Amino acid sequence: MRTKRIDPDSIDLDYLKQEFNRFRADLNGVKEKLGVGASEALDQMSAYLNGGALSSRMATLESDLEALTEKLKGSGKNAVNKLESQVTQRPITSVAIAFGLGVLASQLVRRS
């Protein structure tokens, strides 16, 4: 492939200088806008993190999680106590149910 040679006499240097200076000015404008936008975003993030909003929300979430954990523990204890009382009241039925569940589980595992 042949490169095209540019005739130096046909180049308008003044026009190229003007375009280059305009390009430089546009580039500086973009640079300033990006700097201001980034600075504002960092200031907002810093204010949010240092303002206590995040820490208060975390404290609320922690207390909600603790309350849910206690509720689940209580529900689990109630379920175990209820199951224990059913097994002691009807031991033969409980053994039959456990055997049936074991057979069903073994059939499901065997098919897989």
Query: What is the spatial distance between Cα 6 and Cα 44, in angstroms, rounded to a whole number?
Result: 52
Query: What is the spatial distance between Cα 98 and Cα 96, in angstroms, rounded to a whole number?
Result: 5
- 48 Cβ neighbours under 8 A, 6+ residues apart: 54
Whether this model's pTM surpasses 0.75: no
pLDDT digits (tens, 9 = 90+) for 31-56: 777 777 777 887 777 777 666 666 77
64 burial via Cβ count (<10 Å: 0-12, 13-18, 19+):
exposed
Look at residue 68 in the predicted model and tell me its pLDDT: 92
Structure tokens at 17: 């200088």
Look at residue 15 in the predicted model and tell me its pLDDT: 76
